Amino acid sequence: MLLFTLAGAVICYSAQSISFYTFTSEISSMSIDFRRRVTVALMAVMAQRYRRGMPPMTSSDIQKSFDMPQRLVDIILDELEDIGLANRIMPEREGGQPAFQPARDCNELTVGQVIGAMADKGSKDFIPDFGRRFAEVNRSISEIDNEIIAEAGTKIIDIRIPELGFASQPSK
């Protein structure tokens, strides 16, 4: 009897954790391009929900609504908060999950600004003499980055997202 109980527990745990393990390697090897796409998509969903007066979504709401790996959603939401593009709204009730909403004016925020904020996040210039030794590389990459950001003037709010998902908790 104990063996059946343990086997059942293992099967149940495995079934609940499959989405976590299924996407672990994909998340760690995700391309920069795809990460940008997912980040801009989540920002567009947040902005459009905010503009329409819909309640902000929790990380779990986003995961369920868009079939995204929970770990990836958490990573991107934390990053959006760190770069000042999203605010974490703490729940009023104990044990509730925080929800996320835009931290900047949705009507003015562009795809280029999101990409630029993502590019600026993190440590840089920590390798001694890198800027001097690789000045031409820095110049070339900076030119490309600046062109992308300048040309990506589409406003986040204008990106058409047909499904805006659902929120499980009230915004208050």
80-105 burial code (b ≥16 CB/10 A, e <16): beebebbbbbeeeeeeebebbbbbbe
* CATH assignment, 19-158: 1.10.10.10
Which residues of the chain, if any, have pLDDT below 70?
A: 1-25, 169-172
pLDDT (tens digit, 9 = 90+) per residue, 116-150? 999 989 888 899 999 999 999 999 999 998 998 88
Instruction: Detail the DSSP E strand segments found in the chain.
Output: 57-58, 86-89, 99-102
Tell me the β-bridge partners of 99. 58, 89
Parse the chain into domains and list their residue ranges. Answer: 19-158
For residue 172, the model assigns a pLDDT of 46
